Amino acid sequence: MSEESEIKKTDKVNQESVGKAGEVKNSDKTKKNSAFSKFKKILIGIVIAIFTGAALYGAGWLQARSQFSNDDEQIKRELEQTKEQLITERNRTYLMEARGDLYDTTVNLDQRNFGVANTRLQEAAAALSKVEDVNGNLNIKKIQELQTAISKKNINVAVNLEQQRNSVLSYINVLNKLIPAEENLKIPAGEETPNQ
């Protein structure tokens, strides 16, 4: 019996060691599975975060794009208004420049500077030729007629100076009627304001 009991003890010891070794092997697999499982979870979390971020970015982009497309129409209207205002002010500047040149012509006539007077007449005609009517606020036909008359005018020494001066003044009167009234004239305040 002793042999049998020794064999049984040996079998029990072997089974216990096998059991312990099997447990060790199982615990290694569990640890590996546990580490791999954590890595999978982290990787899945990162992928979900990327997709969520992309979806939110796309939604924000669409919302902003729709807002900008609405603003585009308003911006285009404002741009057109600004262009019209620019052309209107540019036309007004050309008309005022022509008026200034005509007044200079009369001054030069009084001072007997006939060459300078003719130069100022041509500058007035050139300024009037730059006027373009975009929005129908100007009588462009009359402006072109005035420009043609001024460009044909030639001041001579031998001719009656008073008659030539009156002719230039009549151009000024016609031009003054063609210049539209300035709306909402804003004069910037200077550093020094006059005492009242």
Q: What is the pLDDT of residues 158-194, one digit of tens each?
A: 678 888 888 888 998 888 888 877 665 454 555 555 5
Amino acid at 8: K
pLDDT score at 24: 47
Q: pTM score, two decimals?
A: 0.56
Q: DSSP assignment of 77-96, as one string?
A: HHHHHHHHHHHHHHHHHHHH
Digit-coded pLDDT (tens) for 8-30:
555 555 555 444 444 445 555 56
Which has more confidence, 32 or 99? 99
Rg (CA), the chain: 48
What average pLDDT score do residues 68-72 get?
67
The answer to whether residues 154 and 120 touch, using CB atoms and an 8 Å cutoff, is no
Mean pLDDT, residues 97-104 taken together: 92
Confidence of residue 58 (pLDDT cuts 50, 70, 90): confident
Phi and psi angles of residue 74, each rounded to the nearest 5 degrees, phi first: -65, -40
3-state helix, strand, coil in the chain (%, to 5): 80, 0, 20
Architecture (CATH level 2) of domain 79-178: Up-down Bundle (1.20)
Neighbour tally for 176: CB within 10 Å = 11
Residue tagged 């982290």 (tokens): 42
For the chain, give the percent of residues with pLDDT over 70.
71
Both tokens assigned to 64? 């902003």
pLDDT band at residue 87 using 50, 70 and 90 as cut-offs: confident
How much is the pLDDT for 9?
A: 57
For the chain, the structural domain boundaries read 79-178
**Position 155: which residue type?**
I
**Residues 175, 143: Cα–Cα separation, whole Å:** 8
Q: What is the pLDDT of residue 73?
A: 79
**For the ranges 64-68, 89-93, 135-139, 146-150, which has the lowest average pLDDT?**
64-68
pLDDT at 126 over 90: yes
pLDDT score of 22: 46
Q: What is the mean pLDDT of the chain?
A: 77
